[in-house]
Amino acid sequence: MKDWQKGILLEDLLEHEKNWTRYNAACLSPFLEMKKNHIAAAIDDDTYLCGHEWAIKSRILKVKTKINMYSAYDIPIATVEKGDRIIDKIVFNQPEAIMEVLRSYIEDTFLFIHEEVGVDRFVAKQAGYKKIGIKINTFGDIQGVYFKEFQPSAFGEREFPEANMMLSEEKLVLTKTNIPDVSNICDIIAQRLEVMDYEFTNHYSNYNKGKSWSAISLRGYTPEWSFITKPAEMSKKWKEENKDVEFKLQDTDIRKMFPEVEDLLKLLPGKPHRIRFMKLAPGGGELQRHTDQVDPDAGVNDYKLMRFHFPIVTNENVTFSQWNYEAERVSCHMDVGECWYLDVRKPHQAINGGAEMRTHLVVDIEANEKVRALIC
């Protein structure tokens, strides 16, 4: 028997794992799944409870902590006090049985569920839990964060001021800005792109399905237009291999070839960081569902970076999708002449189902009140 089994027979752990099949199937992150080794550890530390066709992993918090909206960003939605219970994971085949357990806890209890799974939301609400926010990990899983107070105090119901302090823009996805039509400028840029003899650089991300997504930089972190990387997003290994390179935000030679881009930038009242042309190949080119939480600067608070898209060349079969605060998929077509805001911290996807290459001008802008006003 291996150490990780904690003295539990492998066949018993595999039987437990079968109970988590539906839960694991909904996970995008392998670290969120309940596999045999995680089950063994939970049984060993007494955080595992199961019955006929249901199971729960929960714990009593020993120290005060905060629940953040994102795995990679400090955007708090609630404070968990010492002595509160956190239910990290639930799985069930019959809602009634799990609801009875959820109602039975005698502590103030926080519950995490797969927010995209309707029956999980139903169970949480029927068991008396109220949604207080969501948590999104780097893989794009959206967990609903629910709360049930055991007994209100003399001071009234427990509140979570962190969520109330959150900027309203935190909840926005795929928002068309109030910038007027700029199709005349975009058409001129498209004509320049058509005769430009530059090969776009394949994007380095692992969600670039079929290597269909590519870009060039008008402004980036080296003078080279072909360098589309943001060093802060890269792995420790990459950073070590490039530790002697001086990276700093700067224009490339291509920027001066597109004076019309400056007219578009004037419509974004903030300091620009990366400016790129990004292509998505036709015939099903796809950016698979992902988040950009590797970018430490993304966000809507002052000096954080907000991303804006100006479609330059597109077709009616290009679809952009993003998952919102309710874990609903929101899809749109961004047309030439429009400007759209995309919150890259939330799960998003793009597909070019048409026969023509899609090209967007993508600009990262430092957030401020005037920039946020573009999407209100």
Going by pLDDT thresholds of 50, 70 and 90, the confidence category of residue 304 is very high
- The pLDDT of residue 198 is 87
Instruction: Determine what percent of the chain is predicted with pLDDT higher than 90.
Output: 93
Instruction: Determine what percent of the chain is predicted with pLDDT higher than 70.
Output: 99
pLDDT in tens, 113-147: 999 999 999 999 999 999 999 999 999 999 999 99
- The pLDDT of residue 360 is 98
Exposed (0-12), middle (13-18) or buried (19+): which is 351, by Cβ within 10 Å?
Answer: buried
Any bridge partners for residue 285, and if so which?
A: 352
pLDDT in tens, 202-247: 998 889 999 999 999 999 999 999 999 999 999 999 999 999 999 9
Reported pTM: 0.94
- The pLDDT of residue 154 is 64
Amino acid making up residue 252: T
- The pLDDT of residue 79 is 96
What gap in Å lies between CA 131 and CA 124, rounded to an integer? 8
User: Hey, how many other C-beta atoms are within 10 angstroms of the C-beta on 101?
Assistant: 19
Q: What is the mean pLDDT of the chain?
A: 95
* Annotation: CATH topology of 3-164: Aminopeptidase (3.40.630)
Exposed (0-12), middle (13-18) or buried (19+): which is 174, by Cβ within 10 Å?
Answer: buried
pLDDT in tens, 309-363: 999 999 999 999 999 999 999 999 999 999 999 999 999 999 999 999 999 999 9
If you ran DSSP here, which 8-state letter would residue 152 be given? -
Mean pLDDT calculated for residue range 19-25: 96
DSSP for 291-357, written as a single string: --TT-TTBSSSTTSEEEEEEEEE--TTEEEEEE-TTS-EEEE-PPTT--EEE-TTS-EEEEE-SSS-
If you ran DSSP here, which 8-state letter would residue 53 be given? T
Delimiting residues of CATH 2.60.120.330 domain(s) in the chain = 175-375
Delimiting residues of CATH 3.40.630.30 domain(s) in the chain = 3-164
In CATH terms, is domain 175-375 a member of 2.60.120.330? yes
